[in-house]
Chain A
């Protein structure tokens, strides 16, 4: 049975874990292709108007997956850390998708306070929860349900609850993949590259069980050059020209799906890399240091992604001893995002007159020309005194 995993929203954090989970549960995970025009257009057409672009893109991915998959995974990650939340839109995600995909069962990955599924709700028609896959009985029920068109009554409820204890194997696989993935991100890999490495792990679907060794086949990180402590924040250098000294180090903050979906952000990362910049993102920073950087806030930020963005921007702005700072900071946000409007303002105030700062709002008609004008001018700013202004 094919389970579709949309390459959107928090896929950029948990994609490899989901993939490993379904693989270990004996199913075939299928990740949708990187966002393209067709996917985006489909999402824009189908989604409600008021929602932000990344959610519309997510829906586009679901629509794409339903063509080839037996079920589509829709995470309901209301919270992934204690006393913190992701986004109210994420809460409604399964319901929005369910309405749009009446023919395809939706697997909900439900969690609270962690990315692993924790709760199992009473199943309703057409919804399958991730845990049901952990038992053969659950799987058989799901398969039957899918075969009969509507999923749910067919699934054995007792099978599910018993399965909670038996979900160990797929959950362990998910945990392991997640650890490797986040480790790679921290070492400076971009999600795409890190996910590719995770796919090659011996534990991945169909692989042989082995001890995980640090991956290193042609993907070895180049030396970070002359800046700072190379072991702290690893600076990914221009791949086309390894060893070349980076012209600038640019810190990017924002929600992962804004930073890493190169179609949605019209290739900001690619543009910066072509200009010879090193890129640092919140995912590359150690959680403890982000927490340290946020000490002294009058009130804790309870939006996980916003908290990371602010913490990362503080670290970039005033790096701890022995670490590389950045020449400029870019905040990438979705236009309709409420929390980001607030966080963006906080970051802007803190950066004011300290380091060059640029805020980019993504919307469905982001023309590359306007964006590139801003980025180019920003790089002139970040390129050091004297380059931008003096004749």
Chain B
């Protein structure tokens, strides 16, 4: 009997990750793609790649997470649509059953998850501010004209990290320019940025949370050695970066879909060849002017969402005109 696999997809603001796990829960294949503002297209690309390897195997369940989970969940027919906090917690526990704290820093949001005795007991997520997230680093790296990959390494070479205001990415930028003009070394400025991000993370997301080791650091930003170093310097102990740090959310979604064991809405890898169109319009029926999104797969319309009254979710079709 052929073994079955489970699929997990994490549709984030910056990256779209797909993971296939086996029945034991270990990752068989992972794909990391840039979302580039087109979540459906990137998922299709990912499914296309996976389809080459897994088209003869049965996918027993599919879970979706990330900020685009609702959309993609509808498109692929997921068995499970789960928030990214739970999925990250689940994956962290899979890697390290004794984990007590999870830092997750992604493209546009950052989270802290507090775990005690194998259960998520508390969490926090950044509010409207992106100053403690990956996009902050992204912007500043662009300004300094260095790639994100170089960025972390450069920070490690710093002698005296410059103090940069991390409260707000706009202020950080003007502060950084000022320090550049003063003649500080690039390494020190980059290290200063890493520390600014770290400070912001602790002030904003980690405020009042009991951070205990072992700490897992996951999400795209975990690749950045400078940030890891800044965290370790502040905490005074080593933090663990799991092997699959960049796809932990997708992994958690796959693990949860394995657990729910519900069969089976997944539309299959062939979805990558089908024409998926998203239509959005402003609902004219009341002064709320909700923006309604519907998905059309090969001419078949899936009920829309985005409304406050809930009628579009019930599958009301759009009045023509």
Q: How far is the CA of A117 from the CA of B125 in the complex (A)?
A: 44
Residues of A with C-beta under 8 A to B118: 389-390
> 8 Å CB contacts to A: which residues of B93-145?
93-94, 109, 115, 118-123, 125, 127-128
Distance, CA A390 to CA B120, complexed state (A): 9
Asked if B84 is at the interface of the complex by the 8 Å CB criterion, the answer is yes
Cα-based distance from A267 to B84 in the complex (angstroms): 21
Q: Does A223 contact B (CB under 8 A)?
A: no
Q: Is the CB of B86 within 8 A of A380?
A: yes
State the CA gap A356–B116 with chains docked (Å). Answer: 13
The answer, among A33, A39, A363, A385, for a CB contact under 8 Å with B119, is A385
Q: Does A166 contact B (CB under 8 A)?
A: no
Given contacts A36-B287, A370-B109, contact A380 B83 (CB under 8 A): yes
Asked if B127 contacts A386 (CB within 8 A), the reply is: no
Segment at the interface with B among A97-105, A154-162, A243-251, A371-379:
A371-379
Taken together as a complex, chains A and B put the C-alpha atoms of A390 and B89 apart, in Å, by 9
Q: Which residues in A have their C-beta under 8 angstroms from that of B308?
A: 262-263, 267
Q: Which residue of B lies closest to A367 (CB)?
A: B128
The residues in A between 253 and 296 inclusive whose CB is less than 8 angstroms from any CB of B are 262-263, 267
- B25 CB, min distance to chain A CBs, angstroms: 7
Q: What bracket does the count of chain A residues touching chain B fall in?
A: 20 to 34
What sequence of 0s and 1s flags, for each residue 196-230 of chain B, a beta carbon within 8 Å of any chain A beta carbon? Answer: 00000000000010000000000000000000000
CB distance from A273 to the nearest CB of B (A): 11
- Tell which of A267, A348, A363, A388 has the most Cβ of chain B within 10 Å: A388
Contact of B94 among A39, A267, A373, A391 (CB under 8 A): A391
Does B123 contact A377, Cβ atoms closer than 8 Å? yes
A37→B120 contact, CB < 8 A: no
Closest chain-A Cβ to B243's Cβ sits at a distance in Å of: 17
Interface string of B72-86 (1 = CB under 8 A from A): 000000000011111
Chain A hits for B35, CB < 8 A = none
* B189 in contact (CB, < 8 A): no
Task: Point out the residues of chain A lying under 8 angstroms from B127, CB to CB.
Answer: 361
Q: Residue B314 at the A interface, CB < 8 A? A: no
Chain B residue contacts of A263, Cβ below 8 A: 288, 308
Kindly list chain B residues whose C-beta atoms are within 8 Å of the C-beta of A390. Answer: 93, 118-119
6 further A-B pairs in the complex, CB-CB below 8 A; given A37-B287, A39-B287, A391-B256: A37-B289, A262-B308, A263-B288, A376-B83, A380-B120, A389-B120
Question: Which residues of B, 28-72, contact A by the 8 Å Cβ criterion?
Answer: 67, 70
Q: Are B119 and A386 interface neighbours, CB within 8 A?
A: yes
The answer to whether the Cβ of B159 comes within 8 Å of any Cβ in the partner chain is: no
In the complex, what's the smallest C-beta–C-beta distance from B12 to chain A, in angstroms?
Answer: 12
Nearest to B84 among chain A residues (CB) is: A373
Give the most central of B82, B115, B123, B255: most A CB within 10 Å. B123
Verify B125–A370 contact, CB threshold 8 A. yes
A38 to B282, CA, bound (A): 14
A143: interface (CB < 8 Å): no
Residue of A nearest to B85 (CB): A377
C-alpha spacing A327/B281, complex, angstroms: 39
